[in-house]
């Protein structure tokens, strides 16, 4: 058997060329917790060179509900990636990172998250609008699929009459985030993407039959739009559950995977619990990614979560 020293002796680390790392310097600006007034920044070019900017509008939150029912995940904000922009030393880029909706006390619907905005001195400006929050419903009878369908949400029936996919867009809540661009050429641009929920059982508390389908904007796990889906927990006596499934699904999307196991119970000071007031104001979702849908129990509210705040990435390469 070869020794470790002989194996290492056959490998020359100096000859290894790294090919999967982006070239240049990277500067990232992201949302700052719940402090919505802290969003402005200004970046100065440290030398002559070139920059490429990626930006994400703030993603949609999930919404509060106080009775047995279900909530849809939030939608993404708009996304933009610029072409190469030549820049001189001392030239500045100013912007504002969008924040997700923090009005956790609003029942059913939180509204739309804030845009992310940048201006490059002497070049132009971009605004990426924020995403719509998820919509929560209280089930008065019948299936959640039929309940959302009766409220004019976009739905596709699958199998029995109480089952199907409901997407977070309707005739009354039809806003889709877009980009407003002035003077800057884009390499890629995407409007906000729509998240959905698959309802596979008439009983809203049979959560293991339901699967959220959360949209992920480009530039996070893929150059294109991606989606993460996961099974809900089979336990039917607590609100705010399935958080671990959502986070593990996100971690599984990355090429450098890691896994988490958050507590999600509502007693004995658990780390996460949808029935506590503060959870609706906790920014636990990564930048640009929508919040998972609410899952309230009978007589136990789910306050939802913040969506991921907006972000701006500046990749700078010196001449």
pLDDT tens by residue, 52-66: 999 999 999 988 887
Amino acid 158: pLDDT = 87
Question: How confident is the model at residue 217, as a pLDDT?
Answer: 95
Does 5 fall in a domain?
no
pTM of the full structure: 0.85
Domain total in the chain: 1
Q: Which of 26-30, 304-308, 314-318 has the lowest mean pLDDT?
A: 304-308
pLDDT in tens, 278-289: 666 666 788 999
CA distance from start to end of the chain: 50
Per the domain annotation, does 1 fall within a domain? no
124 in any annotated domain:
yes
Percent with pLDDT over 70 in the chain = 75
**Residue owning tokens 């609003």:** 106
Query: Is residue 135 packed enough to be buried (19+ CB in 10 Å), middle (13-18) or exposed (0-12)?
Result: buried
Whether residue 244 is predicted with pLDDT greater than 90 in this model: the reply is no
Decide if pLDDT at 194 tops 70: yes
d(CA 103, CA 64): 10
Residue 54 lies in a domain: yes
Looking at the DSSP bridge assignments, the partners of residue 197 are 166, 212
Mean pLDDT of 92-118: 88
Helices (H), 55-100: none
Higher pLDDT, 231 or 132: 132
Inter-residue contact 54 to 77 (CB < 8 Å):
no
Looking at the domain assignment, is residue 11 inside a domain?
A: no
Q: What is the pLDDT of residue 285?
A: 84
Tell me: the pLDDT tens digits for 203-225?
665 666 788 999 999 999 999 99
CB atoms < 10 A from the CB of 211, how many?
Answer: 18
- Helix extents (H) in the chain: 4-9, 144-150, 243-253
For residue range 124-182, list pLDDT tens digits in order: 999 999 999 999 888 777 788 888 988 899 999 887 778 899 999 998 888 999 999 99
Instruction: Report if residue 18 sits inside a domain.
Output: no
Cα–Cα distance between 177 and 310 in angstroms, integer? 13
* CA 147 remoteness from chain centre: 25
pLDDT band at 35 (very low <50, low <70, confident <90, very high): low
Higher pLDDT, 271 or 253: 253
- Tell me which residue range forms the domain holding 244: 24-277+284-318
Closest CA to 240 of 104, 39, 81, 91: 104
Of 12-21, 41-50, 146-155, the range with the highest mean pLDDT is 41-50
């Amino acid at each position: 058997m070869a020794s470790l020293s002989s194996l290492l002796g056959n490998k020359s680390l100096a000859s290894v060329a790294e090919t999967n790392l982006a070239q240049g310097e990277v500067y990232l600006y992201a949302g700052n917790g719940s402090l919505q007034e802290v969003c402005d920044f200004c970046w100065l070019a440290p030398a002559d060179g070139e920059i490429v900017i990626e930006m994400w509008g703030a993603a949609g939150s999930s919404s509060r509900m106080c009775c047995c029912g279900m909530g849809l995940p939030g939608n993404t904000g708009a996304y933009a990636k610029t072409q190469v922009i030549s820049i001189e030393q001392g030239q500045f880029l100013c912007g504002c990172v969008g924040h997700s909706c923090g009005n956790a006390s609003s029942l059913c619907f939180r509204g739309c998250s804030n845009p992310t905005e940048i201006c490059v001195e002497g070049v132009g400006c971009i605004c990426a609008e924020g995403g719509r929050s998820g919509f929560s419903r209280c089930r008065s009878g019948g299936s959640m699929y039929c309940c959302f369908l009766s409220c004019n949400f976009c739905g596709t029936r699958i199998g029995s009459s109480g089952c199907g996919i409901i997407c977070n867009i309707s005739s009354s809540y039809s806003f889709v985030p877009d980009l407003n661009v002035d003077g800057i050429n884009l390499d890629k641009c995407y409007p906000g993407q729509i998240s959905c929920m698959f309802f596979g059982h008439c009983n809203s508390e049979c959560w293991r039959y339901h699967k959220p389908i959360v949209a992920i904007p480009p530039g996070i796990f893929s150059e294109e739009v991606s989606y993460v889906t996961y099974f809900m927990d089979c336990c039917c006596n607590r609100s705010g559950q399935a958080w671990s499934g959502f986070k593990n699904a996100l971690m599984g999307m990355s090429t450098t995977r890691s896994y988490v196991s958050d507590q999600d119970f509502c007693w004995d000071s658990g780390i996460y619990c949808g029935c506590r007031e503060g959870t609706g104001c906790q920014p636990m979702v990564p930048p640009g990614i929508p919040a998972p849908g609410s899952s309230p129990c009978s007589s136990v509210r789910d306050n939802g979560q913040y969506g991921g705040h907006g972000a701006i990435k500046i990749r700078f390469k010196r001449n």
